[in-house]
Amino acid sequence: TTLAADSPNQALQLAESHEGAIHLLLTDVIMPEMSGRDLWRRLSALRPDLKCLFMSGYTANVIAHHGVLDEGVHFLQKPFSKEELATKLREALQGP
């Protein structure tokens, strides 16, 4: 099952109301309302086993340098192919 949200606040509402498991958050790093990192932190408080894959049009080096994301997180740079997405999703779900 895939849950889709138009905003970070809607994602929080979905996570609070969804009765089933949520295994992974796929989120942009920079969004209106709240950063992807802040969204993941808030969702992780509700769902401690939640994995996350961040994506952005910025490079991983730029994002890490500016402190937007911690080093070592699962990251996918835009644009990406379906194959790259599938690979990164598997890595995120299987990793720590």
The structural domains of the chain, ordered by start, are: 8-94 (3.40.50.2300)
Tens of each residue's pLDDT in the chain, 96 residues: 899 999 999 999 999 999 999 999 999 998 989 999 999 999 999 999 999 999 999 887 777 766 677 767 899 999 999 999 999 999 999 987
How far is the CA of 10 from the CAs of 2, 43, 74, in angstroms? 14, 11, 23
pTM (predicted TM-score): 0.89
Tokens representing 58 are: 């910025």
Residue 68: closest CA among 42, 34, 26, 35: 35
